[in-house]
């Protein structure tokens, strides 16, 4: 059974803190993605990766960085969290660009 | 620019049929996806269309017209559990998904 897991369902951090969100997939997919989802705005792509140690900026990379040291793991890093980064963060993986993406359960991050 | 348009919210009655429309403008086109997302949960895949026409999958069908930049998702015999948001996403020439904001479907008894 296809599975994408994320390290936390809910997270509360303070402004200026460094935040790590981790995503693990067990499907041997090459492609992994980080999105944020805000009401009325839909899913917005932050970063994606098509291979180990490879990363590409999405539509809204500012304030974020990523790491992909192993094929199954893709981490999103907020170097210095700000209140406008309060959002739902969704990780996804996909075997090919045109195959469906499988999503993790999401992490609801609140930055105070 | 690239854009996906779909209605913000729709209401339908249990047992009825509802059609959720989506228009898209993408740089190149490699197909169109529909996802379902229940409140507080992750999106799950419903359908993928790359050729014109209707694809039927049980109570759900998806239609694509590439010449019109248009797709719809048709849900038949609506059930209360179909209350969810439905996300339309176009795959552009770089194989990146361009997402719509989603249509919240409310089912009434």
Q: What is the per-residue pLDDT across A14-57, written as a single tens digit (0 to 9) for each?
A: 999 999 999 999 989 999 999 999 988 889 999 999 999 999 99
Helix, strand or coil for residue B29? Answer: coil
Q: How far apart are CA A79 and CA A61, in angstroms?
A: 12
Q: Which of A41, A101, A105 sits opposite B101 (nearest CB)?
A: A41
Q: How far apart are CA B47 and CA B69, in angstroms?
A: 17
Inter-chain contacts counted by CB atoms under 8 A, chains A and B: 46
- Which neighbouring-strand residues pair with B103? B86
Q: Which of B76, B103, B92 lies closest to A40, judged by CA?
A: B103
- Whether residue B19 has pLDDT greater than 90: yes
> How far does A22 lie from chain B, in Å, by closest CA?
16
Task: Please give the pLDDT value at position A1.
Answer: 67
The residue of chain B nearest to residue A42, with distances taken between CA atoms, is B101
The answer, for B86 touching chain A at a CB cutoff of 8 Å, is: no
CB contact under 8 A, A98 and B48: yes
- Whether residue B21 has pLDDT greater than 80: yes
Confidence of residue A99 (pLDDT cuts 50, 70, 90): low
The residue with tokens 């989603």 is B102
- Whether residue A97 has pLDDT greater than 70: no
Q: How far apart are CA B81 and CA A35, in angstroms?
A: 26
> How far does B109 lie from chain A, in Å, by closest CA?
26
Q: Span B19-25, mean pLDDT? A: 96
Q: Which of A90, A98, A103 sits opposite B31 (nearest CB)?
A: A98
Helix, strand or coil for residue A84? Answer: helix
The residue of chain B nearest to residue A10, with distances taken between CA atoms, is B40
CB atoms within 10 A of CB B24: 24
Task: Please give the pLDDT value at position B40.
Answer: 86
Chain B residues closer than 8 Å to A43 by CB: 43, 87, 89, 97, 99
- Cβ distance A68 to A49 under 8 Å? yes
Chain A residues closer than 8 Å to B91 by CB: 97-98
């Amino acid at each position: 059974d296809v599975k994408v897991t994320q390290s936390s369902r809910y997270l509360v951090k303070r402004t200026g803190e460094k935040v790590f969100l981790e995503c693990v997939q067990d499907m041997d997919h090459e492609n992994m993605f980080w999105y944020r989802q805000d009401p009325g705005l839909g899913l917005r792509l932050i970063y994606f990766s098509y291979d180990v140690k490879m990363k590409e900026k999405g539509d809204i990379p500012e304030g974020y960085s990523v790491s992909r040291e192993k094929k199954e793991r893709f981490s999103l890093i907020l170097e210095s969290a700000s209140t406008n980064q309060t959002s739902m963060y969704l990780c996804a993986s996909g075997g090919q660009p045109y195959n469906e993406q499988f999503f993790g359960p999401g992490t609801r991050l609140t930055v105070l | 620019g690239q854009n996906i348009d779909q209605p913000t919210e729709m209401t339908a009655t249990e047992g009825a049929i509802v059609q959720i429309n989506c228009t898209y403008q993408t740089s190149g086109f490699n197909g169109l996806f529909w996802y379902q997302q229940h409140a507080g949960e992750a999106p799950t895949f419903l359908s993928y269309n790359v050729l014109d026409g209707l694809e039927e999958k049980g109570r759900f069908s998806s239609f694509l017209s590439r010449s019109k930049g248009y797709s719809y998702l048709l849900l038949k015999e609506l059930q209360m559990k179909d209350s969810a948001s439905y996300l339309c996403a176009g795959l552009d020439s770089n194989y990146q998904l361009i997402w719509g904001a989603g249509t919240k479907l409310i089912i009434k008894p």
